[in-house]
Structure 1
Amino acid sequence: MSVYVNRTLNMKKIKAIGFDMDYTLVRYKTEAFEKFVFELVLKKLVDVKNYPKEVTELKFDFNQVIQGLIIDRLRGNILQTNRYGKVKIAKHGTKPMDFHDQNEIYGNSIIDLNSDQYQSLDTNFSISNGAMFANLVDLKDQGMKLPDYETLSHDIKEVIDIAHSDNSLKGYVEEHLEDFIIKDPEVAKLLERFKRFGKKLILITNSEWTWTKRLMEYTINPFLKEHETWTDLFDISICLACKPRFFNVSNMFLEIQTDTGLMTNAEGTLEQNKVYQGGWAGKLQKDLGLEGEEILYLGDHIYGDVLTLKKTFNWRTALILDPLEAEIEAIRQSTPTQALIDAEMVQKEKLEHELNKLELLKHEDPEKYNKEDIGKIFGEIDKINSKISQHLETYRRFFNPHWGEMMRAGLEESRFADQVEKYACFYMAKITDLLEYTPRTYFRPKKRILAHEDSTML
């Protein structure tokens, strides 16, 4: 697949490339992993929070939630908004909201993600979280004794964190890596290509050392041709970085002894091929001796990996969007249907223009006005509307059955797409899409067509 460019970026000027690990260097079998998280956390909600054991009977539906949605914690709703923060689709639990009810609640509102009322679901790791919340809201509404909606959302997040920290999640995955993790030899090929072109490679992950070591050894080491291990490949590796705080809060680095896992305070300049914990991007950049625009960072989290970093150190940024591959394929397959919709809309707009002219006659030259002409035009418009509705039904079948497109909310860009456009210099479905380009590529965006510009004139 291709790399999709939002801002000009000359790779010749990039001297260091930073990488997140999970869903960037290491790809997951998302549906299998999220299903396991869903089932595990429901069991833990029973054990830790005393939820009724019946919640464990819930079935996981991978399509129930997509990346980029928003939880309204107070109302038990899940929302998709456009780039302006206006709600375009809303569900209460798993059930679609009536448009009148949706408009009554959100019609005059702009969704502000700075409010604690809202929780964004911006990564692949959010799918199970959103699905649990939606299904538990349904059970509460059906009379099951459960906490209020807001507490539900906080309990789910807390218990997911517990599952990570008590090793019940990662411990099981580590014993069954082939069921959850994709081994892609192309990743090692890409990294060694960057090294050959003189790029410094930096690993910056929120995962702890033991998990990082296990996944990198499993996915990178077997495919290296010019390095013995992944730690030889990376100039500096940073675990438990606590992004986004890594980008805006000055913390101390700890050096990890890779043979024992023991840690000591890191004094002085960060050293080649060493592994660290914590720290701060400011010191990393200083020790690399580089300007912000000479560093490119690739990650999968729009907030933790891209947005905060762009606002603080002005590193160049790239976003990995795992669902993008399926969305692009759906767009490709739906293109003929979209063409039919566009053609019908052209005819509809012509008829609406004729209708407007007749309305002008009614008020400005009533002698020439013929009421029957209006009736005929309305009849033609009704026929076209019927055709458009049929085409739209066909079009929707190509995308997520509950939410439609990830990057659009109706005709407009979704909030998620807006953030990708604003903060990612470029984006792609997987990191190995960069193999189609040399490490000296000059990435340039296409000229964007503004509303006042006629594409036929450009």
Structure 2
Amino acid sequence: MAILIEKQAKRDAKTEKQARREQDDNIQGERCDDSPRKVEFCMECGAFNVVSAKKLPKDVDVKAVFACNELDLKEVKVYGFDYDYTLACYKPSMDYLLYNLGRQILIEQYKYPKPIGDLQYKPGFAIRGLHYDIQKGVLLKLDSFLQIQLGTVYRGLTSLSNEEVLNLYKNRIIPIAAVEYRHDTDHDGHSKMVQLADLFSVPEMCLLCNVTDYFERNHIDYHPEILFRDVKNSVRFSHPVMHKIVEQNVSEYIKYNPDLGRFFQRLVEADKKLFLVTNSPYRFVNIGMQMLIGKNWKDYFDVIIVQARKPKFFTDKSRPIRLFDEKSGTHVWDRVVKLEKGTIYYEGTVKQLQDMTNWRGHQVLYFGDHPYSDLADVTLEHGWRTGAIINELTHEIDTLNRTDFKRNANWLQMLTGLIEEHQDCEDVDERQVFTKWMQERDFLRNEIKYIFNEQFGSVFRTYHNPTYFSRRLFRFADIYTSNITNLLNYSVNHTFYPRRGVMPHEYISYFV
């Protein structure tokens, strides 16, 4: 063991000397002396404790805009927006409302047991981006390689052990046909997986798990797919009722954003065109936008389309745009041959929008919160630039900035490097120490997971890989941020540059 300590100390000393030589001479006061890094061996945990720790990373700006692909705003002439969770960000009261309404419909319309009415919403239980296996009846988290993250598989409110997961799936990797087959049909006998990719699905997941838990505890036989369909439909059917409740007390459910009007005004002054395409009904959108901006909110937009029925709006080829009469609250039969400012439209297709406005390709930047129904088709099929509004990013970045997270992440990275380097040792004593290192690594990985969310961890990462949600987000979004008005921190001519990604073969270092 002493040999391992001595070798590691020498490596650390050499690495640190080299790093110091590369630093600017102006930061002499921050340099250490040339003595080797002090390394102690902890007999209790069996791992190296680095006493003179590496500097912790700087905090991430919670209001920053992050680039997945290079985006030059000078090329953007048209800005498009979704409404829900893009322009209008909802308070936690919305989750409770949708959960309670869905639970009520399950009992009244689907005749579920009345004691289900006592099942309360559990804030913080689920996160966006999880998959639900509608044949096996479990909620789980996948990484970008379609691997199941062990410790994040739940039947109801009960976490399945690693052994139970492997018995259930026989493999940690889910077949791609079960995950990415877009029409949600059985494919060669594989399990059906449904990803819950928007924030409206969070209370739906909680209701699903609560009811599953109730059935399991009371030994009530149920079919997981039927339960999933019933819960999904109950939450979906509750939306019209939710709209009416929110309209009566909009400030109870929508977060006020004082910068939204200023953001739109700056775009208009820069001679940008603005449009809104949302699945929500006009009355609901109108009341929300009046609260956020004022009664003149429509003056900012060149085109407004409600009840668009995305993603069909982006995929259908023939579905006419229709006029909407604000006074009567119904559609008008007139044929739409051009789009006029100040007029409300609904349904239609993106093809008609492009043909009538000539807004095409990279000159259009569209913002939404859903990687699939908002962003995927417009970037893959129509060449639009895209921006994702990910509200949870605020919590994720606040967590990344915590000192305990930074220390655990630094130590985990160094410990993993030690494990990788010494995994082939054969000495009995060294193997005992190595086993303790592995145990500490597992402990650290779980600590880092719990700090984001006790059940499922980070929206963006599994233990060491990006999540499946991250993979799709980075593929379909050119930029992403936590709030649309974060763009006020950048000029309308700003270019967003993605960071140069480090490939596995490029650097040999514990810290990059």
TM-score by length of 1: 0.90
In the alignment, the residues of structure 2 paired with residue 437 and residue 455 of structure 1 have an alpha-carbon distance, to the nearest angstrom, of 35
In the alignment, the residues of structure 2 paired with residue 142 and residue 397 of structure 1 have an alpha-carbon distance, to the nearest angstrom, of 26
**How many Å apart are 1:386 and its aligned residue?**
4.1
- Correspondence for 2:89: 27
Alignment CA distance shift 1:79-1:397 (3 Å): closer
In the alignment, the residues of structure 2 paired with residue 344 and residue 164 of structure 1 have an alpha-carbon distance, to the nearest angstrom, of 49
- Correspondence for 1:330: 399
- Correspondence for 2:492: 439
In the alignment, the residues of structure 2 paired with residue 389 and residue 450 of structure 1 have an alpha-carbon distance, to the nearest angstrom, of 25
| 8 Å contact from structure 1 (residues 76, 134) kept in 2 | no
2:367 counterpart SS class = strand
**How many Å apart are 1:393 and its aligned residue?**
4.5
The structure 1 residue matched to 2:133, chosen from 58, 72, 87, is 72
Residue type matched to 2:491 in 1? T
- Correspondence for 1:140: 215
Corresponding position: 1:260 with 2:322: no
- Correspondence for 2:372: 303
The structure 2 residue matched to 1:157, chosen from 220, 232, 244, is 232
**How many Å apart are 1:209 and its aligned residue?**
1.2
The structure 1 residue matched to 2:179, chosen from 100, 109, 112, is 112
- Correspondence for 2:352: 283
**How many Å apart are 1:123 and its aligned residue?**
0.8
- Correspondence for 2:428: 375
Aligned positions of 1:203-352 closer than 5 A: 203-221=276-294, 229-249=296-316, 250-264=318-332, 265-333=334-402, 334-352=405-423
Bigger mean CA deviation after superposition, 41-50 or 267-276: 267-276
The structure 1 residue matched to 2:146, chosen from 61, 85, 88, is 85
| 8 Å contact from structure 1 (residues 51, 146) kept in 2 | no
Query: Over residues 376-411 of structure 1, what are the superposed CA-to-partner deviations in whole Å (9 max), with x where a residue is unaligned?
Result: 210221332344344344433421011011111221
1:27 counterpart SS class = coil
Residue type matched to 2:458 in 1? E
Alignment CA distance shift 1:177-1:291 (3 Å): closer
Alignment CA distance shift 1:201-1:266 (3 Å): farther
| 8 Å contact from structure 1 (residues 113, 119) kept in 2 | no
In the alignment, the residues of structure 2 paired with residue 57 and residue 43 of structure 1 have an alpha-carbon distance, to the nearest angstrom, of 11
Corresponding position: 1:95 with 2:168: no
| 8 Å contact from structure 1 (residues 64, 131) kept in 2 | yes
Alignment CA distance shift 1:350-1:147 (3 Å): closer
Structure number with higher helix proportion: 1
- Correspondence for 1:414: 467
1:185 counterpart SS class = coil
Corresponding position: 1:49 with 2:110: yes
Corresponding position: 1:448 with 2:501: yes
- What residue ranges of structure 2 are gaps of 5+ in the alignment? 1-62, 186-191
Residue type matched to 1:399 in 2? F
| 8 Å contact from structure 1 (residues 208, 240) kept in 2 | yes
**How many Å apart are 1:248 and its aligned residue?**
1.3
In the alignment, the residues of structure 2 paired with residue 393 and residue 246 of structure 1 have an alpha-carbon distance, to the nearest angstrom, of 42
In the alignment, the residues of structure 2 paired with residue 57 and residue 350 of structure 1 have an alpha-carbon distance, to the nearest angstrom, of 54
- What residue ranges of structure 1 are gaps of 5+ in the alignment? 222-227, 359-373
Residue type matched to 2:480 in 1? Y
- Correspondence for 1:366: none
In the alignment, the residues of structure 1 paired with residue 343 and residue 229 of structure 2 have an alpha-carbon distance, to the nearest angstrom, of 37
In the alignment, the residues of structure 1 paired with residue 491 and residue 314 of structure 2 have an alpha-carbon distance, to the nearest angstrom, of 28
In the alignment, the residues of structure 1 paired with residue 252 and residue 389 of structure 2 have an alpha-carbon distance, to the nearest angstrom, of 22
Aligned length: 431
| 8 Å contact from structure 1 (residues 244, 309) kept in 2 | no
1:61 counterpart SS class = coil
In the alignment, the residues of structure 1 paired with residue 161 and residue 447 of structure 2 have an alpha-carbon distance, to the nearest angstrom, of 22
In the alignment, the residues of structure 2 paired with residue 147 and residue 383 of structure 1 have an alpha-carbon distance, to the nearest angstrom, of 43
In the alignment, the residues of structure 1 paired with residue 75 and residue 468 of structure 2 have an alpha-carbon distance, to the nearest angstrom, of 31
Bigger mean CA deviation after superposition, 258-267 or 189-198: 258-267
Residue type matched to 2:271 in 1? G
| 8 Å contact from structure 1 (residues 68, 416) kept in 2 | yes
**How many Å apart are 1:312 and its aligned residue?**
1.8
Residue type matched to 1:241 in 2? A
1:67 counterpart SS class = coil
Query: Over residues 343-387 of structure 1, what are the superposed CA-to-partner deviations in whole Å (9 max), with x where a residue is unaligned?
Result: 22232233224x1xx5xxxxxxxxxxxxxxx10210221332344
| 8 Å contact from structure 2 (residues 71, 478) kept in 1 | yes
The structure 2 residue matched to 1:194, chosen from 267, 271, 275, is 267
- Correspondence for 1:14: 76
| 8 Å contact from structure 1 (residues 203, 236) kept in 2 | yes
In the alignment, the residues of structure 1 paired with residue 477 and residue 225 of structure 2 have an alpha-carbon distance, to the nearest angstrom, of 31
**How many Å apart are 1:337 and its aligned residue?**
1.3
**How many Å apart are 1:336 and its aligned residue?**
1.4
Alignment CA distance shift 1:242-1:289 (3 Å): same
Query: Over residues 294-339 of structure 1, what are the superposed CA-to-partner deviations in whole Å (9 max), with x where a residue is unaligned?
Result: 1010000111101122222111111111111101111221111111
Corresponding position: 1:124 with 2:208: no
Query: Over residues 1-38 of structure 1, what are the superposed CA-to-partner deviations in whole Å (9 max), with x where a residue is unaligned?
Result: 11110111111111111000011011100x21111211
| 8 Å contact from structure 1 (residues 320, 431) kept in 2 | yes
Bigger mean CA deviation after superposition, 378-387 or 4-13: 378-387
The structure 2 residue matched to 1:2, chosen from 36, 60, 64, is 64
